[in-house]
Amino acid sequence: MSTGQKPTLRIVVLISGSGSNLQSLIDACINNKIKAQITAVISNKPNVKGVERATAANIPALIIDHRDFSSRQEFDLHLLEAIKSFEPDLVVLAGFMRILTPDFVNQFEGKLLNIHPSLLPAYQGLDTHQRAIAAGDSKAGATVHFVTPELDGGPPILQAEVAIMPADSTQDLAERVLKMEHEIYPTVVQWFCDGRLTAENGKAFLDGAIIGSNGILFDINNER
Ligand code: GRF
């Protein structure tokens, strides 16, 4: 007999490091902003702070060290099996520093999110803040996007901008951007869990309306 209650959505989060974005998601679940449960955290690196954060929140944390596998394919296959065992509705990459094979990515079409520390499509790949400063840009930021086989190339969903100050070091800028990441990632995961965010044919949609190629610009005073 149905209780009439919707089943709780299940999220698996993949990390490689500090896990501050993971923490923002854990906090948003605790505060009921995100109506879902993080059922597992998987790290490809041992001894990282993100694993401690998961354990402190009573979330099962698994280490699947990529160095234990002889190829990217083999690692991805193992990772895929581990993720599937948790039957997630959504998989969230939160500072997960491994390139995933197309075979892996294609298993999670429309159910795989990433956060990238640049205003995509600018500065795909690594060293984004350093490159933005070196180019003399006046602004930087972060983008949450659906993941497709093209690295950092999936459809953007939500973007936050910050100013680059003349005296900024890479570290200064990274900290300013990270603060915004902690705003936009829980927001996007909330949209997904509320059934408002979808992906189809390489495009992202919010409330059925197509999202433009730079994503929605985040406005802290006007949350949707
Ligand atoms: C973030 O800047 C994220 O955009 C990038 O890696 C960093 C991860 O930080 N992909 P954390 O592990 O969430 O603290």
Q: How far apart are CA 21 and CA 178, in angstroms?
A: 8
State mean pLDDT over 75-99.
98
Q: Residue 4: its pLDDT value, please? A: 59
Q: How far apart are CA 158 and CA 218, in angstroms?
A: 6
Closest CA to 142 of 160, 126, 124, 128: 160
Q: Which atom of ligand 1 is least distant from the CA of 114?
A: 10
Can you list the alpha helix ranges (DSSP code H) found in 108-158?
128-134
Q: Is the pLDDT of residue 224 over 80?
A: no
| DSSP label at residue 193 | H
At the top level of CATH, the class of 116-224 is alpha beta
Report phi then psi at 183, rounded to 5.
Answer: -90, -45
Closest CA to 181 of 11, 9, 18, 10: 18
Helix or strand (DSSP H, E) at 29: helix 20-30
- Active-site annotation holds for 116: yes
* Delimiting residues of CATH 3.40.50.170 domain(s) in the chain: 8-108, 116-224
pTM of the predicted model, to two decimals? 0.96
Nearest CA, atom 1, ligand 1: 95
Q: Residue 29: its pLDDT value, please? A: 98
Q: How does pLDDT run across 141-177, given as a tens digit for each residue?
A: 999 999 999 999 999 999 999 999 999 999 999 999 9
Q: How does pLDDT run across 124-134, given as a tens digit for each residue?
A: 999 999 999 99
Q: Residue 131: its pLDDT value, please? A: 98
Phi-psi region of 221 (alpha: psi -120 to 50; beta: other; left: phi over 0): alpha
CA of 141 from ligand 1 middle (Å) equals 12
Which SS3 state, helix, strand or coil, does residue 8 take? coil
For domain 8-108, the CATH superfamily is Formyl transferase, N-terminal domain (3.40.50.170)
pLDDT confidence tier of residue 207, bands split at 50, 70 and 90: very high
Q: How far apart are CA 31 and CA 34, in angstroms?
A: 8
| DSSP label at residue 198 | E
Q: How far apart are CA 47 and CA 53, in angstroms?
A: 11
Q: Residue 202: its pLDDT value, please? A: 93
CA of 33 from ligand 1 middle (Å) equals 21
Q: Which atom of ligand 1 is least distant from the CA of 94?
A: 13
Q: What percentage of the chain reaches a pLDDT higher than 70? A: 97
